[in-house]
Amino acid sequence: MHAILNSSVNVSVLLHLSINELLLILLAAVFSNPKYHDSHVQLLEQIARGNRYSTDVNSLALMISRRRCRIINWERGDLIGKGSFASVYRGSNEDGLFFAAKGVSLNEHRHLCHLENEIAILKRLDHENIVQCYGTEKDGEMLYIFLELVSHGTLEKAYKNCRFKESQVSHYTRQILQGLTYLHSCKVVHGDLKCANILVTESGRIKLADFGLSKSMEDHSQSLKLGLGSSYWMAPEVANRKRVGYGFPSDIWSLGCTATEMSTRKYPQYNARNAVSLDRAIRSGKGPVVPDYLSDTLKDFINQCLQPDPNQRPTAADLLAHPFVNESSCTQPDLTELLFLF
């Protein structure tokens, strides 16, 4: 406790902690170890920034173990994924921890910039709906970032195996919104939100991932200028570089496209015959086709996300109150059918 009181966080923060948060901080302090990070100080700093913890004590203990984890001696296993700029391997360390090791060659300068950006972003983040970063390492000619291993892969893989019910789309979308709300509160724009960049655990927990194209905004009035990302999910203001810039609302547009993708098991569909007409449609503010067979509530949610004017789009926090994803209507779906197909 003496170490906690001597931390850089204002002591007044302690007066506003819940019982679970106090237990979490005390566990982090009691089980501190020279080879681990200064967990209790990190947690206090997170709480001071508004990231509250209200889960049960068992979950808190699990969070402690993840925060204190530092990968020292590890072995690279099988290749489990390959993205546009990095390869992902299954890794394990001498303590028996399994994790994902995402690596890029130090000679691939353009790809290296993406991974270094992802490292810088993830080191700042700590939320249950964002993939956990365990650290980094340079090994020979490779730079690795060590990430939480999410057993059931991406939402894209999931919907290709099984059609989602709307209850599942609602459940997943709410968690995506929770992650986005936290991300935007940390002044970070994801920049490439789509099912291929969202992971799902065996219990249906959503984890936002792939922050290589994410951008940090120093203040909420700032606009980002250079837009990158995936065309089908790209907001008009990102695609149209003649405009003033883009910010948090671009993630909301991508969320609308992602909800459409989950519901239809297809990439967002546009009335476009080729790449040129697709680009023209997106720049003009035309969103993807929203099928008539979706429920009115889901269609309304998607259409709110796909407002052509970014200033007219609701925030992630606002959308958490939408009937499609609010607490009363968004219950844990039966995931058994889905998970047996992995």
Contact between 25 and 17 under an 8 Å Cβ cutoff? The reply is: yes
The confidence score (pLDDT) of residue 47 equals 52
The confidence score (pLDDT) of residue 340 equals 41
The confidence score (pLDDT) of residue 34 equals 41
Domain with CATH 1.10.510.10 in the chain: 155-339
The confidence score (pLDDT) of residue 11 equals 52
The mean predicted confidence, pLDDT, of the chain is: 79
C-alpha angle 152-158-159 in degrees, rounded to nearest 5:
170
Contact between 161 and 342 under an 8 Å Cβ cutoff? The reply is: yes
The confidence score (pLDDT) of residue 224 equals 45
The dotted CATH code for 74-148 is 3.30.200.20
Can you list the residues of the chain whose pLDDT is less than 50? 1, 3-5, 7-9, 30-38, 52-59, 61-62, 65-66, 219-221, 223-227, 335-337, 339-342
The pTM of this model reads 0.76
Domain 155-339 has CATH 1.10.510.10: yes
192 is catalytic: yes
**Of 94, 269, 114, the residue nearest 192 (C-alpha):** 114
Q: Is residue 210 marked as binding?
A: yes
Task: List the structure tokens of 171.
Answer: 């459940």
The confidence score (pLDDT) of residue 221 equals 44
Q: Which of 78, 95, 139, 192 is catalytic?
A: 192
Q: Is residue 292 marked as binding?
A: no
Domain with CATH 3.30.200.20 in the chain: 74-148
The confidence score (pLDDT) of residue 62 equals 47
Q: Is residue 102 marked as binding?
A: yes
Say which amino acid occupies 63: M
